Structure 1
Amino acid sequence: MEKVFIRWTWMRAVLHNGWWLVTSVYLVVDAGLSPAQLVLIGSVQSAFALVCEVPAGVIADTISRKWSLVISQVLMGTAMLATGLFESFPALLATQVLWGISWTFASGSDVALITDELDQPDRINVVLTRSARAQLTGAATGLIVLGGLAWATRRDLTIVIAGAAMMSLALYVALQFTEHNFVPTRTARWAASWTTFRRGVTLVRRSRAILLIFAATFLVNGASDAAGRLTPKQLLDLGLPTEPDPILWFTGLGVIGLIVGALVLRLVSKRINGSHASTDYALAALVGVLAMLLLAFARDPVVGAIAVVLLSGIVTPLTRIISTIWINTRTTADIRATTHSFLAQLEYLGEIICGLTIATVARLTTLPLALTTCALLFATTAVLMRQPTSDEATV
């Protein structure tokens, strides 16, 4: 199951990240969306995902983690495919909302499934770190393959192909994944779902460490998501060459960032599993401050590109894997997907509140000032994560 799970993680990363690379350029160059519209898409997408996240997690904990992933793949592929069929803002907003909803059926379900099926508490953190590295190498492959395909053919065609491939990945999950160590609720599912939800809330409320990582996730994800959506616009404004096709430049930047990320995860894998997690999270947030200030006040695309690599190669992978392991080690099997869904809700909430704030700054002032706002969010996170975190919550 471990190899099957990591292989699936890699394939999903190939399609998702390659698709997003092409889509991020498509939204700016082909659809001509403004900076405010780019961030607004993320905020609205997150609002819908926020509403669906916990119900999806509870369903995974009471009915099936495996079939939650199948549903996720089908909906995600549909949303990805439809993106390449439209250029109007309302239609693109709708496709991204569907993508956000699709992700709620996977967030938490994947970690919960592999944790329970592996059934080796002393090994799961290693597997999750390997999975994170697989995501990075898969993402690099996706950037090269789909970025190259978009350059050789058309961006909209590549987006449609990626979506169709993502839909077909549902068959891999259905045929290859097992679910031997999970017992679904056969009767009174609504009552069981409510009980699962309440147990998850109780766990979170009693654990200062979980509340701390929730707050950090809110800030970091809000800053990272907004920065990621504004990056293509900023680099093009700084003079990133438009010949050859900008997709090639973004592909190269993405691959470099992912390679750096894979190396960083390998170097810090032992520290992540120990008592240095909060320190590493704070350091990653400080790198985020540096990256945002460099990108905001860069005078040429080279400096801007360095900032992008810092964000995608250090900040994003480190904060993501630390928060996943942090939550996974502080929950129990019966509410694992639900608790991870709570974490995902804080991610979406950060995208909504911080994203709307940054979108307003971008609309009323300038793009550099919006990126500076992202730097302030990272700085707040760094201060927050230096607080004591020792507690042992029970359900």
Structure 2
Amino acid sequence: MDKLETKHVYYTMHFIISLASSIMFTTYAIYYIEELGLNPLQLILIGTAIELTIIIFESVTGVIADTYSRRLSIIIATFILGAAFLFEGSIPYFSHSSLAVGVLSTFALLLIAEFIRGIGETFLSGADQAWLTDEVGEEAVAKIFVRTNQLRLVASLIGIIISVALASIALNLPYLAGGALYILLGIFLCIYMKEKSFEKVEAAYEKPWKAMSSTLLSGVTFIKNKPLLVMLLVVTVFIGATSEGFDRLWEAHLLEAFTFPSIGSLDVVVWFGVIQFVGTLISIGAMEWYQRRFDVNQPKVIRYSLFYFTIGQVFFLIIFAVTPSFYLAIGCFWVLGIIGSITAPMYQAWLNQQLENKSRATVLSIMGQGNAVGQGLGGPFVGVIATRYYIRTALVLSAILLLPAVVLYGKVMKS
């Protein structure tokens, strides 16, 4: 498989993943709150469950990807995630049966589904980026990451429309559709995904524990010997703490703080679809303009972008939390989406450019663990604040948790 084909497989994989995610997560908060009856603390605890799973399994699955096969790890991930989402979408059927007793309450069933999902996420995390970087080379990944993010946004637009249509019929249907897409993606990857540049660790089968422990040690040592990677690991912890609060509570904040304007017969489900559709459309245009205006392969551009955009993220998140204006809140939400769509691929490219091939997936997984630690520690704290006081207060706290990342990015920019 040549580089062009590899790139197209990567584009297709992430297009389908984003399509499935958009279908499920556009209306998931309404599904959780109205169908499954979760409160703000339970919303956060669901996120904590998946993050704890990632903390436990991330390094293990990253080591497997570096020791045996990145391709195999990715394919395993798609099937596990598909099964988890199908199960999560089926919870209303279980909760109305005799299973919904004792520990098998609706909330417990959801925790089980998220635990399974967490395992799937760890098999995917790091392995996809490591596979692509090995196959096409480090010099080509930055533009591929940016283009992939644009395709993901396009997929999100399509997914939003599908999500609203399905949720208008039944709130659990988006999860069933998303799970089915992951299963189909797994079949597609089995057929079309190739792996030519990966070098399997010697004794991977004869002495598996020794081979995997050697890979893990190599990854940890590599991070310790590069101060920039240590700094990025710390940054991911604070980013994780902030993202968990915002990602889990922004819909609940809008539902609690505002009365949605009456425009025709638009209900809340459609409103959320419109908000995310317009925001995604704006982000696509902003990303295209930014990569045309700046050379996103340049480390200096990446460093400055991450620093200034992270400052903007803190500012607009606070405004989003405290403003009494519905339309200003939506505007801030759209700006936060633009910031995330630009910085995410830059961070991925910058990180991959610092890594060595043999431990790439392991190091990326350790970085993923850092993010999960931030979400696992920050999430419950923010959730308690949201439940005992106000969701506004919890969102402001989430913004404050991002300030150490601003300081660290500033140090890197100056150096």
Category of TM-score, reference length = shorter chain: over 0.9
1: CA distance between counterparts of 2:133 and 2:233?
21
2: CA distance between counterparts of 1:28 and 1:284?
32
1: CA distance between counterparts of 2:88 and 2:63?
29
Match of residue 263 from structure 1: 285
Match of residue 96 from structure 2: none
After TM superposition, the score normalised by the length of structure 1 is: 0.93
Amino acid at match of 2:49: V
Match of residue 154 from structure 1: 170
Match of residue 100 from structure 2: none
Given candidates 259, 275, 284, the residue that maps to 1:239 is 259
Q: Contact 2:23–2:174 at 8 Å: present in 1 too?
A: no
Superposed CA deviations along residues 264-313 of structure 1, whole A, max 9, x for unmatched, are 33333344322122221122222222222122112132222122212222
Q: Contact 2:138–2:352 at 8 Å: present in 1 too?
A: no
Q: Contact 1:259–1:313 at 8 Å: present in 2 too?
A: no
Superposed CA deviations along residues 345-370 of structure 1, whole A, max 9, x for unmatched, are 11111111111221122133211110
Q: Contact 1:19–1:159 at 8 Å: present in 2 too?
A: yes
Superposed CA deviations along residues 145-184 of structure 1, whole A, max 9, x for unmatched, are 2222322x21212321221221121001111100111132
Q: How do 1:294-373 residues align onto structure 2 when only pairs under 5 Å count?
A: 294-314=319-339, 316-373=340-397
Q: How do 1:212-223 residues align onto structure 2 when only pairs under 5 Å count?
A: 212-223=231-242
Q: SS of the residue aligned with 1:387?
A: helix
Given candidates 6, 11, 19, the residue that maps to 2:11 is 6
2: CA distance between counterparts of 1:202 and 1:300?
50
1: CA distance between counterparts of 2:290 and 2:338?
13
Amino acid at match of 1:216: V
2: CA distance between counterparts of 1:220 and 1:239?
30
The question of 1:377 aligning with 2:401 is answered yes
Superposed CA deviations along residues 94-125 of structure 1, whole A, max 9, x for unmatched, are 2122212211111111011111122x332222
Match of residue 153 from structure 2: 136
Q: SS of the residue aligned with 1:330?
A: coil
Given candidates 188, 207, 210, the residue that maps to 1:191 is 210
Match of residue 166 from structure 1: 182
Match of residue 95 from structure 2: none
Amino acid at match of 1:166: Y
Superposed CA deviations along residues 187-244 of structure 1, whole A, max 9, x for unmatched, are 3222121111111111111111112222222112221221111011111111125853
Deviation at 1:48, TM superposition (A): 0.9
1: CA distance between counterparts of 2:385 and 2:65?
38
Q: Contact 2:20–2:159 at 8 Å: present in 1 too?
A: yes
Deviation at 1:26, TM superposition (A): 0.3
2: CA distance between counterparts of 1:94 and 1:144?
28
Q: Contact 1:220–1:285 at 8 Å: present in 2 too?
A: no
Match of residue 284 from structure 1: 309
Amino acid at match of 2:407: V
After TM superposition, the score normalised by the length of structure 2 is: 0.89
Match of residue 108 from structure 1: 126
1: CA distance between counterparts of 2:124 and 2:156?
17
The verdict on how the C-alpha distance between 1:188 and 1:267 changes in structure 2, with shifts beyond 3 A counting, is farther
Given candidates 240, 244, 250, the residue that maps to 1:225 is 244
Gap runs ≥5 in structure 2? 1-5, 93-105
Cα RMSD (Å): 1.9
Given candidates 85, 91, 100, the residue that maps to 2:109 is 91
The verdict on how the C-alpha distance between 1:379 and 1:271 changes in structure 2, with shifts beyond 3 A counting, is farther
The percentage of aligned residue pairs carrying the same residue is: 23
2: CA distance between counterparts of 1:162 and 1:308?
24
Q: Contact 2:146–2:346 at 8 Å: present in 1 too?
A: no
Q: Contact 1:57–1:338 at 8 Å: present in 2 too?
A: yes
Q: Contact 1:272–1:280 at 8 Å: present in 2 too?
A: no
2: CA distance between counterparts of 1:271 and 1:377?
30
2: CA distance between counterparts of 1:37 and 1:287?
29
Amino acid at match of 1:42: G
Amino acid at match of 1:174: C
Match of residue 141 from structure 2: 124
Given candidates 176, 189, 211, the residue that maps to 2:192 is 176
Q: SS of the residue aligned with 2:91?
A: coil
Count of aligned residue pairs for this structure pair = 388
Q: Contact 2:242–2:398 at 8 Å: present in 1 too?
A: yes
2: CA distance between counterparts of 1:241 and 1:48?
39
2: CA distance between counterparts of 1:113 and 1:11?
17
Amino acid at match of 1:331: L
1: CA distance between counterparts of 2:303 and 2:375?
22
The question of 1:66 aligning with 2:71 is answered yes
The verdict on how the C-alpha distance between 1:228 and 1:240 changes in structure 2, with shifts beyond 3 A counting, is farther
Q: SS of the residue aligned with 1:32?
A: coil
Deviation at 1:390, TM superposition (A): 8.8
The verdict on how the C-alpha distance between 1:287 and 1:29 changes in structure 2, with shifts beyond 3 A counting, is farther
Please identify the structure whose Cα radius of gyration is greater.
2
